[in-house]
């Protein structure tokens, strides 16, 4: 499947996986619309940035309506990528951090998806990518709230692909292990390093998934660093 002239919305494009996705989808020939609080430095005739805090349903609605009212007039791909994590003992986690994670990682995904699904249903085509995490597959000490949001992404995604498959809309949930991005800025113990996954490689996997044939649906993509703490000497 070629992606030329496909209209792709990506949330959270200022850096990391979202920025890599913008670059790679532009190379594939997509029209890319980035939604986020901050833009990246990409200059490309097929790239447009619409300032959007995904926690704000009015801003999300306005951004998507702006895309539909433009010459593009449709949305083929939605990548719900915007997200963040805070870490720590459950009794120490400020309510504001709990709320920000749920509002961004879950509400933002819901706000975007609910606006885009009717468009994809009307067009009889679409692919929604939700970025969960391996924290959406297993519990981790000091990561309870972030894990809870990413388990919610899993539940949402697994329900949605069954709900939308007969409308020819694919839903793929991505479960990366640690990726070398700015994500760990709030972590007291983890610094990004070269044994993590690279954002370009995660983005390339997602682009591959978007290019699969119509009748080929990758439901879940779990990907981890082979040696997340570096090589161990083995006998």
Ligand X SMILES: NC(=O)c1ccc[n+]([C@@H]2O[C@H](COP(=O)([O-])OP(=O)(O)OC[C@H]3O[C@@H](n4cnc5c(N)ncnc54)[C@H](OP(=O)(O)O)[C@@H]3O)[C@@H](O)[C@H]2O)c1
Residues labelled as active-site residues: 146
Half-sphere exposure of 203 (CA within 13 A, CB side): 22
Nearer to ligand X among residue 34 and residue 126 (C-beta): 34
The answer to whether 166 touches 123, Cβ cutoff 8 Å, is no
DSSP letter assigned to residue 197: B
| Bridge partner list, 35 | 11, 50
Core vs surface per residue 129-168: b (16+ CB within 10 A) or e: bbbbbbbbeeeeebbbbbbbbbbbbbebbeebbeebeeee
Q: Residue 16 or 126: which CB sits closer to ligand X?
A: 16
198 by Cβ neighbours in 10 Å (0-12 / 13-18 / 19+) ranks as: middle
Minimum gap (Å) between residue 97 Cβ and ligand X: 12
Q: Count the residues in the chain.
A: 235
Shortest distance, position 164 Cβ to ligand X, whole Å:
21
Contact between residue 40 and residue 64 where contact means Cβ atoms under 8 Å apart? no
Q: Using the minimum distance from each CB to ligand X, give the nearer residue, 126 or 199.
A: 199
- The residue ranges that bind ligand X (CB under 6 A) are 11-18, 36-38, 53-55, 81-85, 104, 131, 133, 176, 178-179, 181-183, 199
Q: How far is the CB of 56 from ligand X (least distance, A)?
A: 8
Q: Minimum distance from CB of 204 to ligand X (Å)? A: 14
102 vs 167, which CB is nearer to ligand X?
A: 102
Structural tokens at position 134? 């391996």
Of 104 and 170, the one with the shorter C-beta distance to ligand X is: 104
**Continuous H helices in 42-181:** 57-69, 95-101, 108-123, 144-164
Q: Are 130 and 156 in contact (CB under 8 A)?
A: yes
Residue in this structure with the two tokens 């975007």, named with its chain if needed: 112
Q: How far is the CB of 146 from ligand X (least distance, A)?
A: 7
């Amino acid at each position: 499947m070629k992606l030329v002239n496909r209209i792709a919305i990506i949330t959270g494009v200022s850096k990391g996986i979202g920025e890599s996705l913008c670059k790679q989808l532009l190379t594939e020939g997509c029209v890319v619309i980035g939604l986020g609080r901050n833009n990246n430095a990409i200059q490309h005739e097929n790239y447009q940035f619409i300032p959007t805090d995904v926690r704000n349903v009015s801003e999300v609605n306005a951004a998507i309506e702006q895309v539909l009212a433009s010459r593009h007039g449709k949305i083929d791909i939605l990548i719900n990528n915007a997200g963040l994590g805070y870490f720590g003992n459950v009794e120490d986690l400020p309510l504001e951090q709990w709320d920000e994670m749920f509002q961004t990682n879950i509400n933002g995904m819901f706000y975007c998806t609910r606006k885009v699904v009717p468009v994809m249903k009307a067009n009889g085509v679409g692919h929604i990518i939700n970025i969960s995490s391996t924290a959406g597959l297993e519990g981790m000490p000091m990561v309870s709230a972030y894990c809870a949001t990413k388990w919610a992404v899993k539940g949402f995604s697994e329900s949605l692909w069954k709900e939308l498959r007969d409308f020819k809309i694919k839903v793929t949930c991505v479960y990366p292990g640690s990726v070398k991005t700015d994500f760990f800025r709030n972590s007291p113990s983890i610094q990004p390093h070269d044994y993590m996954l690279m954002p370009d490689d995660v983005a390339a996997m997602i682009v591959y998934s978007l290019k699969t044939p119509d009748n080929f649906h990758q439901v879940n993509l779990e990907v981890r660093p082979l040696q997340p703490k570096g090589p161990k000497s083995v006998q």
